[in-house]
Structure 1
Amino acid sequence: MTWKTFIAGALAGAVSGYLLNEAVKKNTSLSSETVLANVKKAFKEEGPIDGSWIQMTKEDFAKYAIKTKVYRGGITTSQNGERKQYEFIADAFTGSVLDVYPIS
């Protein structure tokens, strides 16, 4: 085996490994606990959190041309001595909050 063959094989293996890693990361969703922790962190900037919940299963979500899997959850906060409740929808792959709305 010559050095050229060895280097070409090692380079091909490294490139294949990198591409496989990127493909796996692209199709992997975040855990519901991670998504909830991110949402709670954002809400904590506005005030204390009294409670929170999240569904453990992903559900299909479609709005216009956007189709993805989402987690649904809720947050209870105290603002000016008053308890407020919100529900949220977060993308299961990126953790981005797609919608937040208050519950009356």
Structure 2
Amino acid sequence: MKWKSFLIGAAIGALGGYAATQIVSQKTKVSPEKVLEQVKKQFKQNGSISGSWIHMVAEPFEKQHIQYQVYKGGISKNQDGVNEQFEFVADALTGTLLEVNKITEDTQAS
């Protein structure tokens, strides 16, 4: 009877450990709203923001041969009376900015 109880306990422990590992290893995305909030906070350090947007669906992105799931968005700000626009790419898992590009007049005309 002792072996039977031991084996049942070991099996339950193994299943519980496996389930816990699966739950912990699941990568959860940061909400796009939270990412936009973080990006705006970083941009506000250098002036006021006049507008912002973020694409609500994460999409694949590759940078330096590394694959990411990312949110893309944009920020408009007024710097010394001049309206500047930026596009950004942020990691959907961490919210970390991977890329920021200033949109120039030439880029907007394309």
TM-score under structure 2 normalisation?
A: 0.74
Q: In 2, distance between residues paired with 1:18 and 1:89?
A: 32
- Tell me, yes or no, if structure 1 residue 102 matches structure 2 residue 102: yes
Structure 2 counterpart of 1:54: 54
| Residue identity matched to 2:51 | G
What is the total number of aligned residue pairs between the two structures?
93
Compute the displacement of 1:63 (Å).
Answer: 2.0
Determine the C-alpha separation between the residues in 2 that align with 1:69 and 1:35.
13
Q: Deviations over 1:51-98 (max 9, x none)?
A: 000000111011232101000000000111111000000000010000
Alignment pair present for 1:33 and 2:33: yes
Identity over aligned pairs, percent = 42
2:24 to 22, 25, 41: 22
Q: Distance in 2 between matches of 1:40 and 1:23?
A: 30
Gaps of 5+ in 2: 1-5, 105-110
Alpha-carbon offset, residue 23 of structure 1: 2.2
Using structure 1 for the length normalisation, give the TM-score.
Answer: 0.78
Aligned-residue offset at 1:19: 4.5
Q: CA RMSD in A?
A: 2.0
Structure 1: segments with no counterpart, 5+ residues: none
Q: Deviations over 1:32-52 (max 9, x none)?
A: 101000000000000000000
Residue of structure 2 in register with 1:63 after alignment: 63
What is aligned with 2:42?
A: 42
For the pair shown, which has the larger CA radius of gyration, 1 or 2? 2
Distance, in Å, in 2 between the alignment partners of 1:51 and 1:34 is 16
